[in-house]
A and B are shown apart, each in its own frame.
Chain A
Amino acid sequence: MTITATMLSTTRRRFLKGTGAALAASATGSLCLPALAQAQEITIISNLSNAGQRDILHRLAAEYEAKSGAKITINNMDHEAHKTAIRSYLVVGAPDICFWFSGNRMKAFVTKGLFDDISDLFARENYKSVLGATTNAVTVGDKQYGLPMGGLLWGLFYRKDVFAEHNWTPPKTWTDFLAFGEAAKSASMIPMSMGTKELWPAGGWFDHMNLRINGLDKHIALMDGKVQYTDPMLTPVFDKWSELIKAGFFSPNHSSFGWEQAGAALAQKKAAMMDLGGFVRSAFPEADLPQLAYAPFPEIIPGVARYEDFSVNSVHVPANAKNKQGARDFLAYFYKPENLGAFLAAEGAIPPRNDCPPSNDPLVNAAVEELKKVVGTSQYYDRDTDPDMAQEGMTGLQEFMVKPERRDQILERLEKTRKRIFS
């Protein structure tokens, strides 16, 4: 009888909470801990797919544990799965610290009141003075809701040895670019390695062409839903893109694999270039890394200033965290220049702080130098526009890359979605 009585009083949510707590307790082993005089506990959910970064996070956590006596639990999730899990865990069962993306994606949770305002931490540690303009990436209405992590400068990557062997130079103009594609094909290589199974690489390619043709302001207006997808300003973008598709620039069957496999094709010299961020390095064997080099996306219309996708990841304290003070204290330690620098070096990302030790990674240094020449930045297609629009949009762009002749139907469909979401 007691069983049924308790079951009657158990609502679904309580049941979930109970099992969740039991699972968490058994996972961390905290059940067997005696009530140590309020031992601080900090839980972190990370989405790091880079093993080197995970190791450094664990090392920093262990150092902090030894220093402060707090107990830190790190739960690492698969990067893609985390994107869906965060929506439920921010509401029920929030950790004290979580990894996410700055800009619009962060804002979506800020407006729902799910991220804690950490302006106090910014003031305490005087972050604005070392972050400069990067502060904007985590600011909503004059308040800061996260700490910016590494920045990814998107562009074309290639192997120096391959380029030297064929006597190629990175294409600078549209004519160069078309000629380069022909040269790569005659060397039996795929000009542009691309894997669109996870959709976003198609969105990135669209960004880069649109930024080169229409510039930043018009691109952002489109991302904000203020320009129609059927607008004539996009005609040259899709005309030129069709030209590339029809000329066989991109990997065949690109919708059946993801960026890792496309990156491997670049590393194995089957493809000449690839449009990605610095994390393309993880597709390369250690010994081949010195060959990897960066080149900006070529100019398409002369006179359009240089704008790039520069996406900034971020770390947040959920509004429902239990130990918000502990989270702040650990973040302050984690965000020290030397710690942050080591953490970001493993990913090849650009440090947001200007006082991080100079990197000894030539790719990072090249990106830092390139960034100085960039006039303005957007983040990335699926970080700049509404998530619902991004899903439809990237699906449509992938379809366009396979069936360029369906362009008008696709754009009309996207326009319908834009109207539904933004009006």
Chain B
Amino acid sequence: MPRFWRRHRHWLTPALFLLPGLILFSLVILAASVETVWISLHEWDGIGAKTWVGLANYAELAEDPQFYVSLKNNVIWLLIFMLAPPIGLALALIVNQQIRGMRILKSLFFVPLVLATVTVGVVFGWVYDPTFGLLQLIFGLFGATAPALLSDENFATFAVAAAALWPQIAFCMVLFLAGLNNLDEDLIGAGRVDGARGWRMLRHVVLPQLSQVGFIAIAVTVIGALRSFDMVAVMTTGGPYGSSTVLAYQMYEESIFSYRFGYGAAIATVLFVIMSAFIAWYLHGLIKAERSNA
């Protein structure tokens, strides 16, 4: 045994360390994904027998107006969420100053990260409430009536995504703050010697060093926008009449409320394909960054 161990430990040790993670990953992620694709080729109510229907679920999906509403809403989420990295960066630059009291401000900006998304959703639901919400109080000060954001098909998705944006900004800010703490003092010093200050310092010395963090912030934000589900469930349950659903919520609704697991799985598969494109881009970026560092 000791000899066997000595001869093989150069690969056995990492293998053993990786094994638990790999097993969990393949069980919970890979197997479940493959099963989802398999289910999407069936008609299944979640309990009884599955009936093979081939690509019929996808054919129906292509003609389902609700699917395009969800897809469009996912794009809206994506666009709104793209505000998170720049605002997060701006906030990080502001709260990173050495000013008295800045720590309190910094922790205030952290708050949304501490809250569960469901809590954020419920709180914003109250803010938007047309009868007693904060928004109505503010509008009331000017003698106006606040629009009922969550029951208007044109506003609902924007209102929900705006609520979800709040914690996302805080998240990006934390990422950039960590990045700002890792800046190379030598480079900044060299820049100062060369006379760079203010905007030029930021643009040519600081930002280039934050590019990796920025990349991570954008990638995480994209994925966060695509997997949005909890806020929709809490704030509008996809309503009014399905106008604020996103793919993840439609999948849930079809599977759980309409008992159509095959159709739900087909939506999940489409979402998976869309996400894989972004994830592939993310991994590609990560690997490239790792190579250039090595």
In-complex Cβ contact of A388 among B27, B28, B260 (8 A):
B260
Q: Which residues of B contact A87 (CB under 8 A)?
A: 46-47, 256, 259
The one of A254, A387, A395 that contacts B259, using a Cβ cutoff of 8 Å: A387
Cβ–Cβ contact B239 & A391, under 8 A:
no
Write the chain A residue with the least CB distance to B260.
A388
Binds B, one of A3-11, A71-79, A123-131: A3-11
**Shortest distance from the beta carbon of B257 to any chain A beta carbon, whole Å:** 5
Given A3-B20, A254-B151, A256-B151, A398:B258 Cβ within 8 A: no
Determine whether the beta carbon of B239 is less than 8 Å from that of A197. Answer: yes
Total cross-chain contacts (CB, 8 A):
70
**A112 on the B face (CB < 8 A):** yes
Q: A391 touching B257 by the CB < 8 A rule?
A: yes
By a CB distance below 8 angstroms, the chain B residues around A84 are: 256-257
Interface residues of A in 1-38 (CB under 8 A from B): 3-4, 7-8, 12
Nearest-CB residue, chain B, relative to A402 = B240
CB distance A391 to B253 under 8 Å? yes
Interface residues of A in 120-139 (CB under 8 A from B): none
A391 to B259, CA, bound (A): 10
User: Is the Cβ of B47 less than 8 Å from the Cβ of A395?
Assistant: no
A392 to B245, CA, bound (A): 14
Distance (whole angstroms) from the CB of A98 to the closest CB of chain B: 15
Q: Is the CB of B46 within 8 A of A402?
A: no
Interface size class of A (residues with CB under 8 A): 20 to 34
Closest 7 pairs (CB-CB, A-B): A399-B241, A256-B151, A253-B148, A255-B240, A255-B151, A388-B258, A253-B151
Contact residues, B27-80 vs A (CB, 8 A): 27-28, 31, 46-48, 65
Q: Judge if B150 is at the interface, Cβ distance under 8 Å.
A: yes
Among the listed B27, B148, B237, which residue makes an inter-chain contact with A12, where contact means beta carbons less than 8 Å apart?
B27
Q: How far is the CB of A61 from chain B (nearest CB, A)?
A: 29
With A256-B148, A395-B241, A399-B240 as known contacts, state yes or no: A4 contacts B253, CB within 8 Å.
Answer: no
B158 to chain A, nearest CB (A): 15
CA distance A233 to B242 in the complex (A): 27
Residue on B with the closest CB to A406?
B241
Cβ–Cβ < 8 Å partners of B129 in chain A: 256-257
Bound form: Cα–Cα A217–B287 in Å? 67
Point out the residues of chain A lying under 8 angstroms from B237, CB to CB. Answer: 197-198
Query: How far does the Cβ of B57 sit from chain A's closest Cβ, in whole Å?
Result: 12
The reply to whether the CB of B130 lies closer than 8 angstroms to some CB of chain A is yes
Q: Is the CB of A392 within 8 A of B258?
A: yes
B125 to chain A, nearest CB (A): 9
- With a cutoff of 8 Å between Cβ atoms, the chain A residues found around residue B16 in the complex are 4
Q: Which of A7, A253, A392 contacts B23 (CB 8 A)?
A: A7
Q: What's the least CB distance linking A166 to chain B, in Å? A: 23
| B47 in contact with A114 (CB, 8 Å) | yes
Query: Which residues of A are at the interface with B, using a C-beta cutoff of 8 A?
Result: 3-4, 7-8, 12, 84, 87, 90-91, 112, 114, 197-199, 252-257, 387-388, 391-392, 395-396, 398-399, 402, 413
Q: What is the CB-to-nearest-CB distance from B22 to chain A, in angstroms, rounded to a whole number?
A: 10
List residues of B (1-38) whose CB comes within 8 Å of A's CBs: 16, 19-20, 23, 27-28, 31
Q: Which residues of A contact B260 (CB under 8 A)?
A: 388
For B257, list chain A residues within 8 Å (CB).
84, 387, 391
Give the nearest-CB partner of B241 in chain A: A399
**Docked-complex contact A396 and B241, CB < 8 angstroms:** yes
Q: Which residues of B contact A391 (CB under 8 A)?
A: 253, 257-258
Query: Is B19 a contact of A4 with CB atoms below 8 Å?
Result: yes
Min C-beta distance of B256 to chain A, whole Å? 5
Interchain nearest-CB distance for A417 vs B (Å) = 9
Contacts of A388 in B (CB 8 A): 258-260
Smallest CB gap from A3: residue in B = B20
B138 to chain A, nearest CB (A): 17
Complex Cα gap A112–B47 (Å): 7
Contact of A4 among B23, B241, B259 (CB under 8 A): B23
6 A-B residue contacts at CB 8 Å? A114-B47, A252-B130, A254-B151, A395-B241, A396-B241, A399-B241
Task: Quote the shortest CB–CB distance from A71 to chain B (angstroms).
Answer: 30
Bound CA span A12–B130, Å: 46
**A398 touches which of B20, B28, B241 (Cβ 8 Å):** B241
Please, how many angstroms separate the alpha-carbon atoms of A3 and B21 in the complex?
A: 12
New contact pairs (11) apart from A4-B16, A395-B239, CB-CB < 8 Å: A12-B28, A84-B257, A114-B47, A252-B148, A253-B151, A256-B129, A256-B150, A387-B259, A388-B259, A391-B257, A402-B241
B23/A112 in contact, CB under 8 A: no
Q: Are A398 and B47 in contact (CB under 8 A)?
A: no
B150 contact set on A, CB distance < 8 A: 255-256
Are B258 and A387 within 8 A (Cβ)? yes
Contact between chains at A402 and B65 (CB < 8 Å): no
Q: Which residue of A lies closest to B27 (CB)?
A: A12
Q: A4 to B28, alpha carbons, bound, how many Å?
A: 16
Tell me which residues across on chain B come within 8 A of A197, comparing CB atoms. 237, 239
- Contact check, A8 vs B151: say whether CB atoms are below 8 A apart: no
Nearest residue in A to B65 (C-beta to C-beta)?
A: A413
- Cβ of A117 to closest chain B Cβ, rounded Å: 18
Q: Within the complex, what minimum Cβ distance (angstroms) separates B36 from chain A?
A: 13
